[in-house]
Amino acid sequence: MRENGVEMADPDGSGKIRIQAQKGEEAKMEKAMKECQHFMEDVVGGKDAAADPKRRDEMVRYVQCMREQGIEMEDPDPNGKLRLKLPDGGEQKLKAAEAACKEFQPAMQGDGQ
């Protein structure tokens, strides 16, 4: 992602990553996501990621928790991708919601799950 102009933090201690587009840089983020898709599939799974009912249930529980924390988040798409709508200035609210929903956060493939 960095090689494609997207600044992002290193993975945390659990190996989880957070990708966040800066306002006005959505096109650059989209281009970088396409360039790096093959890496993401290795980590979070490809098009079959949501086909596993257990994994889909995990994602749905996480989305429900995030919604309860006031984050506008769509259901997982057929490819297992999660999308959210974050208003300007909503970063703190997102961080608080992520902390509150940590126990429901779906495991990344390769985490031994």
Is residue 49 predicted with pLDDT exceeding 60? no
Q: Between these two residues, 56 and 69, which has the higher pLDDT value?
A: 69
H or E stretch covering 59: helix 53-68
pTM: 0.54
- Reported as a pLDDT band with limits 50, 70 and 90, residue 65 is very high
Tell me: pLDDT of 50 over 60: no
Q: Which of 62, 75, 74 is nearest to 103 (CA)?
A: 62
Pairwise CA distance, residues 59 & 34, whole Å:
22
Calpha distance 107→113 (Å, rounded): 7
**Residue 113, domain member (yes or no):** no
Distance separating alpha carbons of residues 92 and 94, to the nearest angstrom: 5
pLDDT at residue 77, as a whole number: 79
The range of the structural domain enclosing residue 83 comes to 48-108
Residues 52 and 40 both lie in one domain: no
pLDDT(103) > 70: yes
Query: Is 45's pLDDT higher than 60?
Result: no
Residue 62 shares a structural domain with residue 36:
no
Cα(83)–Cα(66) distance, integer angstroms: 11
Q: How confident is the model at residue 113 (pLDDT cuts 50, 70, 90)?
A: very low
So what's the pLDDT on residue 41?
60
89 in a structural domain: yes
